[in-house]
Amino acid sequence: MSDTIAVKYGTLHSCDGEPRTNGTLLIEGGMVASLDTPSVPEGALRFEAACVVPGLINAHAHLEASGEPDMTGLILLTTPTQRAYICAENARKALAAGVTTMRDLGGTERLAIDLRDAINAGKLAGPTIVAAGRVVCMTGGHGWWIGREADGPWDVRKAVREQRKDGADCIKFMATGGVLTKGSVPAIAQLTEDEMRAGVEEAHNHGMRTAAHAIGALGIRNALRAGIDSIEHGHLLDDEAIALFHEHGAYLVPTLSAIASIVDAGTEGRMPDWVLRKALELATNAIENLRKAYQAGVKIAGGSDAGTPYNPHELYWREVRLMHEQLGMTPREALYAATASAGELLAVDRGRVRKGSPADVLLLERDAGDRPDALSNPQVVIKNGAVAFDHRP
């Protein structure tokens, strides 16, 4: 197959400037060669699309789960080998649905790390993966079932070093309780500011970005003051937290799909009762708080928490729609959050269609700049300048 691809488009959302119309995108040697080539080389593989956008970036996912009602039970009652199969299948489904880059923010063993390496070696199909390894949590804290439990600044620092030794790309800390751990209260802070400061410093010393699961306001503020790069969820953030986002330049990854999927499933979803109860409590004020952060100019990056109940990896496009509907973003702003902004957060050269960058693009039947639903059925998925999936009849 030719390593040169030409795509005649109606609209191109490069997420690196204003949209272009009625041109031809040229891809050569895996890279974007031209956003509007005047001529197409002989032998190029040719496509036509109403709309072209960058490959989507899911900045918050868990490959070891697929949206089962009881994620904790799944992890605890399956073997690493079984979960490795799940990881590989979820990576394939995500890529087929247009997710060309993903940050796995916590799992068991080295599964996401090893999968990342297998995908990079061309052995398996999947997105470019940025892997956190095990989450760093307090003893008995939220996510202990996928975590490295640590207590005190030096133990947290050691936990970071262990994840780095295992090959992790980034580090995730648990700043508060969460929905999916029994007995864990989302509003209550867990790792302290001093503990996270030590961990963030250690990670940054090695060039690793950091993320904090943080729902309650105190935990959010602790993580931001500790120098965290992104707050995941942020449901109960307050005005002081918004000021700290701006002071430290941190990103907010609102993971709107995580709560919405649980609430929508309701009592018929067969989830543990404490999962639904906590999600319903958070849903009361979460959207108002997150919308306030967006309106205040806090940097938003797309991430769905894929793998949590009724939130599968292949439906990441719903997160883009929710950012539009619940936060009030325009469709173009929501697309930018799930591409260019997420790429900036992950520090990867992805999420934009620009000359000289890796060619991760989606070919769509409709304009995603008008309707996020256009992302729900990409016709062609191109990753690193090669056709990964062609869904056309």
> Can you give the CATH number for the domain in which 176 is found?
3.20.20.140
Per-residue pLDDT tens over the stretch 37-87? 999 999 999 999 999 999 999 999 999 999 999 999 999 999 999 999 999
- Assess whether 43 and 170 both reside in one domain: no
Would you call 270 exposed, middle or buried from its count of C-beta atoms within 10 A (0-12, 13-18, 19+)?
exposed
Would you call 177 exposed, middle or buried from its count of C-beta atoms within 10 A (0-12, 13-18, 19+)?
buried
For 299, the 3-state DSSP assignment is strand
pLDDT at 136 > cutoff 70: yes
Across the range 194-223, mean pLDDT stands at 98
Confidence of residue 172 (pLDDT cuts 50, 70, 90): very high
β-pair partners for 358: 31
In the predicted model, what is the mean pLDDT of the chain?
98
- Assess whether 367 and 304 both reside in one domain: no
- Assess whether 249 and 381 both reside in one domain: no
The sheet with strand 230-233 has its strands ordered as 147-149, 135-137, 170-174, 209-214, 230-233, 251-253, 299-300
Per-residue pLDDT tens over the stretch 224-259? 999 999 999 999 999 999 999 999 999 999 999 999
Would you call 249 exposed, middle or buried from its count of C-beta atoms within 10 A (0-12, 13-18, 19+)?
exposed
E strand or H helix that includes residue 24 = strand 20-28
E strand or H helix that includes residue 21 = strand 20-28
Per-residue pLDDT tens over the stretch 359-392? 999 999 999 999 999 999 999 999 999 999 999 9
Point out the domain boundary residue: 346, 361, 378: 346
- Give the pLDDT confidence score for residue 383 in this predicted structure: 98
- Assess whether 262 and 130 both reside in one domain: yes
- Give the pLDDT confidence score for residue 2 in this predicted structure: 73
Return all residues near 371 (Cβ < 8 A) that are at least 6 apart. 331
- Assess whether 342 and 374 both reside in one domain: no
- Assess whether 167 and 299 both reside in one domain: yes
pLDDT at 164 > cutoff 90: yes
Query: Which has the closest alpha carbon to 26: 335, 391, 356, 374?
Result: 356
- Give the pLDDT confidence score for residue 388 in this predicted structure: 98
Confidence of residue 1 (pLDDT cuts 50, 70, 90): low
- Assess whether 139 and 228 both reside in one domain: yes
- Assess whether 65 and 192 both reside in one domain: yes
pLDDT at 105 > cutoff 80: yes
- Assess whether 12 and 131 both reside in one domain: no
The count of domains in the chain is 2
CATH of the domain at 50: 2.30.40.10
- Assess whether 254 and 201 both reside in one domain: yes
pLDDT at 336 > cutoff 60: yes
Percent of the chain's residues with pLDDT above 90: 99
Confidence of residue 33 (pLDDT cuts 50, 70, 90): very high
What domain range includes position 371?
A: 4-54+352-390
What are the phi and psi torsion angles at 6 (to 5°)? -120, 130
- Assess whether 126 and 235 both reside in one domain: yes
- Assess whether 230 and 332 both reside in one domain: yes
Across the range 126-137, mean pLDDT stands at 98
